[in-house]
Amino acid sequence: MPALADINETLTRFYINRAVSDVFRTMLGREPTISQCFDRMPGDDAPSTIEHHRPQIVGTVGFFGEVNGLVYLHLDLTFARICTCHLLDMTEAALDEAGDDVINDAIGELTNMTVGSFKNGLCDSGYSCKLTIPSIVRGSNFVIEPISSATRQIYYFDCEEHRVIADILIQRDE
Amino acid sequence: MRYKVLTVDDSKTVRIIVKKAFKPYDCEIREAANGVEGLAVAAKESPDLILLDVTMPVMDGVEMLTKLKADPALKGIPVMMLTAEGGRDNVLKIAKIGVRDYLVKPFKEEVLIEKCGRIIDLKPLTEGPAKSKSIFDPADILVVEDKPAIVQQIQDGLKHTPWKIRGVVAQGEAIDACTRQPPDVVLVSLSLAEEAAFTLFRLLRTNVKTKYTPVFALVVKTETQQQQQAQTVGFSAIITKPIDTGELETKIAKAMNLDTSQRYYATEHECLVLRLPENCTAPVLAEAAHYLKPKFTEAVDAGHNKVVIDVHQLRSLHMGVIKLLFQAMQTCRELAMQFALVANAQIISECKGFEDTRGWTFYDSLDEAKANLGKTAPAPSASPLAAAAA
């Protein structure tokens, strides 16, 4: 297995860009592009935080094995609803009737596909790992803070008028 | 046979997408949210194919697959992995347990269907007992031919139909066209270079969207060896060059199972009209005769008991036409329907020349015939031809 230090920002950016692009293009017919990124190494004083001004749905899937980490995928609620309607071929009215669980499940699956694609890249680079089951966080005012031994990279994707944020935490303890 | 497909995935979203993808096909979808449920449904339903995720709670896909392959009653069920777990080593490990295919998420529904179509014989769902397509409905005909003159000839010959004739020159273009929008019928020239027509035929037959699409071979009349080869391979029909577009139209209609009765039968003001065209060839008469009884019965069932047999477009009378007219009149008598005949002067005069048809009464126009329906005595039936038609 190569050293964990070899999973640098360039590699991470390549895999997450490929993953988000593949998933959003294949499943939703959209073309997201990276607009900003933040990179924080373990021990950095100022943790990057993601500020939200609108209700959010955040999907989380972890990967464990020769490399351990988590990816949070942030979508604002409006976009999450659009994605769900597209995936399930539903109208907004039908989605209102179906309830929040349907949105949670759809965003959980989008996150699962995105993190799956990301971690498959890591696997093929020699870091064998497996996925965890997705979970969902919903809210308007929250902060996700990493433990100090993790690196954190945050990628902002523009997806037409919407924004998708991929927040990647990788455990650096060898 | 209706196939059963079991989708095992903890995500309801994926299960819904799978159901959506299979909706146009004649198969039933069963669902399970984890490996334990999956094994139970597999044992109860004996599905023809299992689509299996890897990462699931309670029991994951790898454990389910291992147990499935260890069970003599279930091990024969083909399994296709449908999962975000796609690292090379993991795929190889899972493949060794025994899977027929592996599709890594994200996935396109068309790709899922195409892969499944290689494992089970997916048939497009025909929409219930809805009325069959008619000759007046639009259809999409793809002509794969490198000679533009032939494509033009087909377009000109079929321009009176509502069919859209698209021409492409090469195999690759044909595949692209079929993928974008599967045509109703494909015509392929056997003279394409390097036996491309046969390669294309095989590709169309292995694609789930075109596996039941009628594919005709276009071949020069004297190329008998190629014609035999096309028949052996399984082309739906052979169309010889020079092309008889009338024959082509009939064959296309037959291959598409079109209802062509409207060419000859119409209900006008509660009266059934049987109208023969100017040129009544043997296939035309056979087609008109094929619908005769059902159309007359349908009219009676709908409360219409009047028939006008209109041959005013007919250019000349011959035995085939006379037989059909006798058959129509005989059917009217059996169903107690009133009938009248309409013809042009030429046909009326020719009818006077035959013993069997001499006594027939004709009207000059449809309106006149309708106005006099019921007032005319039925034509005599005690002739050898009438007996033959009956």
pLDDT at B382: 46
Residue A147 CB neighbour total at 10 angstroms: 10
Cα–Cα distance between B123 and B213 in angstroms, integer? 11
Which positions ≥6 away from A93 have C-beta within 8 Å? Answer: none
Please, what are the averages of pLDDT over each run of 10 residues along chain B (390 residues)?
A: 91 96 92 96 94 95 96 94 91 92 94 92 69 83 94 94 93 89 93 91 87 92 90 91 90 89 90 91 88 93 92 90 93 92 91 86 89 63 49
Q: Which residue segment(s) compose the domain that A62 sits in?
A: 4-172
Return the structure tokens found at A65.
């094995």
Which single residue is written with the structure tokens 């890591």?
A: A122
Q: d(Cα B228, Cα A124) in Å, to the nearest integer? A: 51
The reported pLDDT for the residue numbered A49 is 66
* Chain B: closest CA distance from residue A46 (Å): 34
Nearest to A23 among B86, B89, B106 (CB): B106
- Phi, psi angles (nearest 5°) of residue B172: -60, -45
A109 closest CB neighbour out of B13, B56, B89: B13
Is A133 within 8 Å of B56 when comparing Cβ atoms? yes
| Pairwise CB contact (< 8 Å): B56 & A22 | no
| Chain A CB contacts of B108 below 8 Å | 26
Interface mutation target, options B7, B10, B11, chain A, most CBs of A under 10 Å:
B11
Q: Which residues of chain A does B105 touch, with a Cβ-Cβ cutoff of 8 Å?
A: 112-113, 116-117
> Is A108 within 8 Å of B11 when comparing Cβ atoms?
yes
What is the DSSP secondary structure assignment for residue A132, as one 8-state letter? P
Confidence at A40, pLDDT banded by 50, 70, 90 = low
- ipTM (interface predicted TM): 0.91
Q: Which of A26, A119, A124 sits opposite B107 (nearest CB)?
A: A26
**What share of chain A has pLDDT > 90, as a percent?**
64
Cβ of B84 within 8 Å of Cβ of A131? The answer is: yes
Reported as a single tens digit per residue, the pLDDT across A72-124 is: 999 999 999 999 999 999 999 999 999 899 999 999 999 999 999 999 999 99
| Predicted TM-score (pTM) of this structure | 0.67
CA atoms within 13 A on the CB side of B303: 2
- Max Cα distance, chain A (Å): 51
pLDDT reported for residue B1: 63
Q: Hey, are the CB atoms on A130 and B106 less than 8 Å from each other?
A: no
Judge whether B389 and B323 are in contact, CB under 8 Å. yes
Q: What pLDDT is attached to residue B209? A: 82
B203 Cβ contact partners less than 8 Å away, ≥ 6 residues apart = B171, B175
How many residues appear in chain B?
A: 390
Is residue A43 very low, low, confident or very high in pLDDT (cuts 50, 70, 90)?
low
Contacts of B17 in chain A (CB under 8 A): 87-88
Number of domains in chain A: 1
Chain B residues inside the 8 Å CB shell of A120: 84-87, 104
- Find the chain A residues whose C-beta atoms sit closer than 8 A to any C-beta of B: 22-23, 26-27, 84, 87-89, 102, 105-106, 108-109, 112-113, 115-117, 119-120, 122-124, 128-134
Residue among B9, B10, B11, B13 with most chain A CBs within 10 A, to mutate: B13
CB contact under 8 A, B90 and A113: no
CATH of residue A66's domain is 3.40.1550.10
* Cβ distance of B87 and A119 shorter than 8 Å: yes
**Interchain contact, A130 vs B85, CB within 8 Å:** yes
* pLDDT number for residue B317: 87
Give the nearest partner residue to A112 out of B57, B84, B108, using CB atoms: B84
Do B17 and A23 count as a contact with CB atoms less than 8 A apart?
A: no
From chain A, the residues in CB contact with B57 under 8 A are: 133
CA-based nearest residue in chain A for residue B54: A131
- Shortest distance between the Cα of A17 and any Cα of chain B, in A, equals 14
Q: How far is B83 from chain A (nearest CA, A)?
A: 8
Q: CB A133 to CB B57 under 8 A?
A: yes
Give tens-digit pLDDT for A124-162. Answer: 989 899 999 999 999 887 777 777 778 889 999 999 889
Structural contact between residues B169 and B187, judged by C-beta atoms closer than 8 angstroms: no
Considering only alpha carbons, which residue of chain B is nearest residue A111?
A: B84
Which residues in chain B are contacts of A123 at CB distance < 8 A? Answer: 86-90
Q: Which of A105, A116, A124 sits opposite B84 (nearest CB)?
A: A116
Query: Among partner residues A23, A89, A105, which is closest to B20 by beta-carbon distance?
Result: A89
CA distance B20 to chain A (A): 8
Question: Best mutation site among A112, A122, A133, A135 for testing chain B: the one with the most B CBs within 10 Å?
Answer: A112
